[in-house]
Each structure stands twice: as structure tokens, then as C-alpha cells.
Amino acid sequence: MKRPNMTTRWYLIPLLAVPTALAAQELTGPQPDHGLGFTLTIPTGWVGTGGPEGYLIGHATVPGAIMVSAVRHANLEALTKAFSEPTADGTSDLSVQGEPVVGPDNSVKVVQVGTMQGTPVKVVGCAQLNPYGGYTANLIALAPEETFSAELEAALERTFRSVRYTTPNTAYQGAGKEDRAWHDRLAGARLTYMESYSSPSATEGGIGGGYSLNRRIDLCPAGRYTTRTDSDHTLSGGEVSAYDQTGSGNEGRWSTVRLPNGDTVLRLTPTQGAVQEYRLTDEGGKTYLDGARWYRTTLADDGPEYAPDCP
């Protein structure tokens, strides 16, 4: 049996300061729940780029950046380990400074120092474990060590304190009968959702950025499933550049359930975490989950590259 795969990799090329002009279309203020189980608020005076799977947040005059990613952690120990592991990959050399601070509310704060591409940097990471077992909002502030300021850390703290985890959607959960037609259609299929966004700077020297998102559900004929989510975010301007890449996955058992109201849902019951359900609809032979288009591919129709990864 495959184990859930959870990784987060961060890359930052910090120079001297964030640009003084910000793009008008950047994100500000409260940000909605993109189906990952949490909301947050970008601090006043700061702007972000991103959306589903995470954010990159910058300021006109405060050096550095704040990064937010959505990652599943099995428990508090796994969360603490994820923030505490050193990095030595040839371009970055980081290690923990002091001891991780673990709070009674299942929160963790870790400080790491070292170098990235030869530049001395400081990294502060913090998160509170999602109490519902879903994605946890991982927050990291990064800046050159000599310019890592109280303002940057205060903005990290405000963003962290603004995170609100939402109760998993149970609107579809309950008794129902198996929908054989949908089951036969999805058994042995890979469902893929893709999204991308690019926001160029509106002014010379301003901040621009974007993201790409790929979600995948592999539905095996024997009733097992695996999921994989990968995303990339970029934030760049005249004097700062940041890039992050995150990936997470899960596994469990799947079924298609016809509810008393006539709807059919794809029910994913993971080996750890909360049950997830998506309302299934067909529009002209195309598959939709909760109103969003997902591409259905199989080994017979699309070849091994697009087939589900099944034993």
C-alpha cells in the first residue's frame, strides 16, 4: 500500500528590498476558502498573489516575503518535523536556530538560518494543525538575515492569527445507494483538474506573479484511490524574486453514492483525515465535480501516461 506523500519545497532569491510600487490587481484583505478548509486575511498594507493551494505576500517597503501553502500533516509531530528538517541541496543550507516552539493549541513556530544561493537568510515558519484533519495552512516568512525585520515577523503573526479552519462540508454525507452507472464510468479512471493564473505588474518595477495548479484523483477498480495536488507560485519584481513548489497527496477508498435527493456524489474516505464528497454531474459527456470540469482519462483511451496509478 502506498503511503500518503506530503512535501513542501521553498526557494527564495532575496535581494535588498521589495519594490516600491505594487500591482493594482494583487490580492488584499480577507481571502476565501478555496475548498481546502481554511480562510485567511492578508495584513493591511501588504498584497498577495495566488489563490487555491497558497499565497505569496509582499510589501512595498518591507524586505522579504511571506509564503502560505496548504499541506496535509498526519499529526503535530509530523508538522513539527516538516518545519524543523534542515536543508542542504547545493543551493540552500538551512538549519534550526533554537528549539521549535510548540503551543497548547497544536501550533508550531520554528526559526531557521543559513544561506540561499550564498545569501545569509532567516526563515520563520509557523502553523496550527488543522483540527479537522484536512489541509494545514503552513506560513513561512523569508528575508536576508540582515534585513529580516520586526515588521515582517509581525505581518507573519497577523496572517497566522487570521487563519480560520472551516468544518468539512457534510452537505452530501449520509445514507445512500451505490450509483452503478457512475461507478462503472469512473472505475479505472484518472480525474484531473488544472488551473493557472498570471498577474503581471501594472507599473514598472511593481510586483507580478501567478500560479499553476494540478489536482489528480486516481480511482482504481478495486475501490482504492490516491490523490495528488501540485502547485507552483511565483512572485517577482525589480528587487525581489520568490518561487515555491508544493505537493501533497492522500489515499483511501472511494465510492459513488446516490443520495435520497437524487444527487450522486463521489465519496473519498481517506486512511487519515476527513471524508470528502463531490457532487457528480455530466454535461455533454464531460465530467464535473461540484460544478468544476475534471478531465477523465483511462489506460485504454489515453495511454499509460494518463492512466490511474493502480496496483
Span 210-235, pLDDT tens digits: 556 788 999 999 999 998 877 665 55
Of 71, 92, 66, the residue nearest 8 (C-alpha): 71
Residue 274 in domain: no
Residue 203 in domain: no
Residue 89: predicted pLDDT: 72
Name the amino acid, one letter, at 253.
Answer: R
Span 90-147, pLDDT tens digits: 777 889 999 999 999 999 999 999 987 788 889 999 999 999 887 899 999 988 888 8
For residues 298-311, one letter each, b for 16 or more C-beta atoms within 10 angstroms of the residue's C-beta and e for the rest, the string is eeeeeeeebbbebe
Checking if the pLDDT of 204 tops 90, the result is no
Residue 75 belongs to domain with CATH number? 3.40.1000.10
What are the distances in angstroms from CA 265 to CA 38, 102, 290? 22, 39, 9
Beta bridge partners of 119: 116
Residue 17 in domain: yes
Rounded Cα–Cα distance for residues 63 and 56 (Å): 13
Residue 113 in domain: yes
Residue 218 in domain: no
Is 165 within 8 Å of 131 (Cβ atoms)? yes
Q: Report pTM.
A: 0.62
Retrieve residue 187's grid coordinates. 472505475
Give the total number of structural domains in the chain. 1
Span 232-272, pLDDT tens digits: 655 554 444 454 445 456 789 999 999 888 899 999 888 87
Handedness of CA 11, 13, 16, 17 (dihedral sign): negative
Say how far residue 230 (Cα) sits from the centre of its chain.
Answer: 8
Structural domain for 99, as ranges: 6-169
Beta strands at 286-289 and 292-298: parallel, antiparallel or unpaired: antiparallel
Span 19-35, pLDDT tens digits: 322 333 478 899 887 76
Residue 61 in domain: yes
